[in-house]
Amino acid sequence: MTLRRQLVLTSLLLALPVALIVTWTMSAMRDRDRELALFRVADGHLTDIVRDACLEDPNWFLAGPRTGRPSAAARAMPDADVYLPRPATDELPFEVFAYDREYQPSSSAAPRFPDELRQALRGQQTGAVSSRYPSRTGEGHQVAMLTGWSSGPCAILLFRLRPEAGTSTRALLVFGGTYLLAFLAAALTMLPAEVRMRRMAAAARASAREQYASMVPIGGRDEISAMGAAFNEAAADLRRRAVDVRDREDALRRHVTHTTEDVAVPLSALEQRLAALDAGSALSPPVRTELRGALREAHHLVSRLNNLAAVTRLRTSAERLAREPVDFGAVVERVVATRSAVARVEGVDVNASIPSEPVTWPGDPVLCEQMVANVVDNAVMHHRAGGRVEIELKSYEGGRFTLRVTDDGPGVTDEAFAELTANRRFRGDEGRSGRGGRGLGLAIAREVADRLGLQLDLRRPATGGFEVEFSVR
């Protein structure tokens, strides 16, 4: 999960309890205000006018307009309580009812006196108590007050305040607005830290691309600044180590290069002289056999030294390999020329087919030549007398080309072929099973091809032998 998603999720989680607490608090404060207002209304009814109106007609002592309320003259007629209609029982926003000390209602519209208020008023002569009562639209407020007027029908007054309309909608709006504000506040509070972390990550990546030459900017004295300081310390240590490793690699590369030149050049000259002697006709068969054995060993040592130099060049390159246009036609010609002597000794005929137009590809000239030479060496050394090795270079439109090296030798077993195709990189132990093993040179050729952006494919033709093809991907 990204840091921004964590920020949003954390802000949402933090905003939830804040919104719930604020909504509950505002609802509780509003309920408390309504309850206090009802107490004040109850206190305001302790007047002589209210007392006289209640004692005069307790059945119709109801606050608010009541439809069908008879006139005073009609209520004064004989048997008015029988013929006149009863007070309506529809709930009004505000109501007040009268009760005697036995908690019996004085009006036919009055509800049953609440038990919790009766328990609270027991044994008291004056005072007021409150509670909630269930209504069709929620919970309303009610206050019972001992008037002290008499023990008659107006000894207790019950005041009721119906729940406000739209309470749920109001609570939902309060919750939504508070949740949104709390979320924005939490997100804006944590946003600077997230921005600093992203800037520090970008600066760290830029520093890594520059080999840790630049430092991460540090601001403040918090944990983020401590992380930046720790990264800068690690970057400085890595830079020192990289410089030390680069110096060691340069020293190793120079040592291997010089050693290879000091040994490979005389060995190559020795190989050429042995080839020239072998071309003569005044040698006895035993001497010729020994001479050809020495020529093979010299060629093998030269190949090993060149492979060692190639591996060192691949492994100690701190930066990308140098790229310049390499003429693969000229590379093939040089490889064929330098392998002609050993091919003649092995009795193998090496033929090359090269187009007249140059076939170029950006790469390292030394590694390109070693890549092709290793494949040709494998084809020659793992062949039989009288065999043929065909080197075919073809060019196509768009700068594409293929370089195919095919031999008609004994080929490789299924197990050996599986091992060769599975080995994607040079390990260093490919050629230890025997002199001239295919694995060593082929692993180096594969890695050079990967570095140059070329595709290397291994095949076993149906007619036998072995085939290696380099192509532009």
DSSP string, 312-366: HHHHT-SSPPP-EEEEHHHHHHHHHHHHHHHHHHHT-EEEEE--SS--EEEE-HH
pLDDT of residue 395: 92
Q: How distant is the alpha carbon of residue 84 from its chain centre?
A: 81
Type of residue found at 381: M
With cut-offs at 50, 70 and 90, classify the pLDDT of residue 428. very low
| pLDDT at residue 427 tops 50 | no
pTM above 0.85, yes or no: no
Q: Are strands 156-161 and 401-407 parallel, antiparallel or unpaired?
A: unpaired
- Tell which wins on pLDDT, 116 or 412: 116
The DSSP annotation for 223-266 comes to HHHHHHHHHHHHHHHHHHHHHHHHHHHHHHHHHHHHHHHHHHHH
Measured CA to CA, the distance from residue 159 to residue 36 in angstroms comes to 12
Measured CA to CA, the distance from residue 85 to residue 156 in angstroms comes to 24
H or E element that contains 145? strand 138-146
- Cβ pair 156, 101 in contact under 8 A: yes
In the block, tokens 């929620």 appear at: 138
- Cβ pair 428, 440 in contact under 8 A: no
Measured CA to CA, the distance from residue 360 to residue 399 in angstroms comes to 8
Q: Return the closest-CA partner of residue 199 out of 236, 172, 225, 179.
A: 225
Measured CA to CA, the distance from residue 287 to residue 273 in angstroms comes to 15
Q: Classify 94 as helix, strand or coil.
A: strand
**Backbone dihedral region of 224: left (phi > 0), alpha (psi from -120 to 50 degrees) or beta?**
alpha
| pLDDT at residue 274 tops 50 | yes
pLDDT of residue 432: 39
Tokens of 350: 């090496």
Beta bridge partners of 209: none
pLDDT of residue 64: 55
In angstroms, the Cα distances linking 415 to 312, 370, 412, 427 are 29, 26, 8, 19
Q: Return the closest-CA partner of residue 88 out of 67, 57, 63.
A: 67
Q: Return the closest-CA partner of residue 85 out of 57, 108, 62.
A: 108
| pLDDT at residue 2 tops 70 | no
pLDDT of residue 433: 41
- Cβ pair 314, 451 in contact under 8 A: yes
Tokens of 141: 């407020």
Kindly report the CATH number that applies to the domain delimited by 320-473. 3.30.565.10
Q: Return the closest-CA partner of residue 145 out of 153, 157, 160.
A: 157
Q: Return the closest-CA partner of residue 232 out of 214, 257, 211.
A: 214
Q: Are strands 401-407 and 388-395 parallel, antiparallel or unpaired?
A: antiparallel
DSSP letter (8 states) at residue 146: E
H or E element that contains 138? strand 138-146
Tokens of 439: 């694995």
Enumerate residues 6+ apart whose C-beta is below 8 A from 26: 174
What is the pLDDT averaged over residues 304-322?
Answer: 73
The per-residue pLDDT for range 60-88, each reduced to its tens digit, is: 776 555 556 677 777 777 777 676 667 77
- Tell which wins on pLDDT, 70 or 108: 108
| pLDDT at residue 321 tops 70 | no
Enumerate residues 6+ apart whose C-beta is below 8 A from 143: 35, 38, 39, 42, 128, 129, 130, 158, 159
pLDDT of residue 3: 65
pLDDT of residue 401: 94
pLDDT above 70 coverage of the chain, percent: 88
